[in-house]
Amino acid sequence: MDFEPYRGELLAFCYRMLGSFHEAEDLTQETLLRAWKARERYDPSRASVRTWLYRIATNACLTALEGRGRRPLPSGLGAPGDDPGAPLAPALDIPWLEPFPDARFDVEARVDLRLAWVAAVQVLSARQRAVLVLREVLQFTAAEVAEHLDTTVPAVNSALQRARAALRDVPAVGRGIGLREPDDPEVRAVVQRYVLAFEAADVPALVRLLAEDAVLEMPPVPLWYRGSGDYGRFMERVFAMRGTSWTVRRLTANGQPALAAYVAEPAVDGYRLHSVQVLTVADGLVAHNVVFADPRILDVFALPRQQPPADNFPGQR
């Protein structure tokens, strides 16, 4: 039996459940290993291979989530900051939500990989989370989900209703309304203008591309900002601290446009990978930017850590 064709979608499922790409990779591998060891006991008359694998993955995720809290973004923990010069002290004791590197995997349902959606799902209990993802994202029947969870169809339907009700109270979910895909021409045009302004360290141009209530956050730093004014003032601080010479590579993460930002590194006569920025573009403006600079997070994108000083990314801009 060949389970490899299912790896990508199982990884996306585990990521939606856990909010951690690293843990999702481990649990996907564990799922495939369990399936391989139990392959002689698989009964095709009871379920398809795909359904059987999801039952194994669901149980692995529920076990992993026992006794754990949610993985938040900074905006899910408190009020926005009002001082763009506040200390940037990381909170390493918090298990932050991680991004999903699209380019490494073939996953069809990317809309429900968006950071705001995955962050919102984190408020649910583990079983509610499983029911929501299995029923509404993966379109399993209530009977199949009941089989996965060793429960009844009425219990599944009740959990789904509670999950929907809980998510209605989470503001981040509403920000997904009207979002377009990263390759949409309007989205590409907005991102292109943002890239040009960023590479020029042109803060007024950046601010003109922001929604009035744009959010900027930078896990593992718990500090975050709301509003184009504070966003712009923080970017002035970034360019003052890191310099004004940057180059950018465009990519996608979580089904959203993303940027790999490289800052000039005189010691190596080139650029050093600084961060991956995951953008939300809505109504022709940047509404949200989640900046990841943790080296462990950057590693999952398999990006070069350094770039030469000129013509770094032909065809990317």
80 within a domain of the structure (yes/no)? yes
Please report, for residues 18, 33, 90, 272, 301, the alpha-carbon distance to residue 95 in angstroms, rounded to integers and kept in the order given.
Answer: 11, 26, 12, 26, 19
- Model pTM? 0.91
105 within a domain of the structure (yes/no)? yes
Q: Which residue type occupies 127?
A: R
Residue 190 sits in a domain whose CATH number is 3.10.450.50
| DSSP secondary structure letters along 173-240 | HHTTTT---TTSHHHHHHHHHHHHHHHTT-HHHHHHTEEEEEEEEETTEEEEEESHHHHHHHHHHHHH
211 within a domain of the structure (yes/no)? yes
82 within a domain of the structure (yes/no)? yes
272 within a domain of the structure (yes/no)? yes
Q: Which domain holds residue 117?
A: 69-123+178-317
Q: Is residue 224 within 8 Å of residue 74, measured between CB atoms?
A: yes
* pLDDT given at position 263: 96
How confident is the prediction along the chain (317 residues), in pLDDT tens digits per residue?
889 999 999 999 999 999 999 999 999 999 999 999 999 999 998 889 999 999 999 999 999 999 888 899 999 999 999 998 999 999 999 999 999 998 877 666 565 789 999 999 999 999 999 999 999 989 999 999 999 999 999 999 999 999 999 988 766 554 444 567 788 899 999 999 999 999 999 999 999 999 999 999 999 999 999 999 999 999 999 999 999 999 999 999 999 999 999 999 987 789 999 999 999 999 999 999 999 999 999 999 999 999 888 654 433 44
* pLDDT given at position 175: 44
162 within a domain of the structure (yes/no)? no
* pLDDT given at position 269: 82
* pLDDT given at position 245: 95
Please report, for residues 118, 131, 151, 152, the alpha-carbon distance to residue 157 in angstroms, rounded to integers and kept in the order given.
Answer: 21, 8, 11, 9
* pLDDT given at position 142: 97
> Quick one: tokens of 315?
């065809």
Closest CA to 200 of 122, 317, 57, 69: 317
14 within a domain of the structure (yes/no)? no
* pLDDT given at position 69: 84
25 within a domain of the structure (yes/no)? no
Number of domains composing the chain: 1
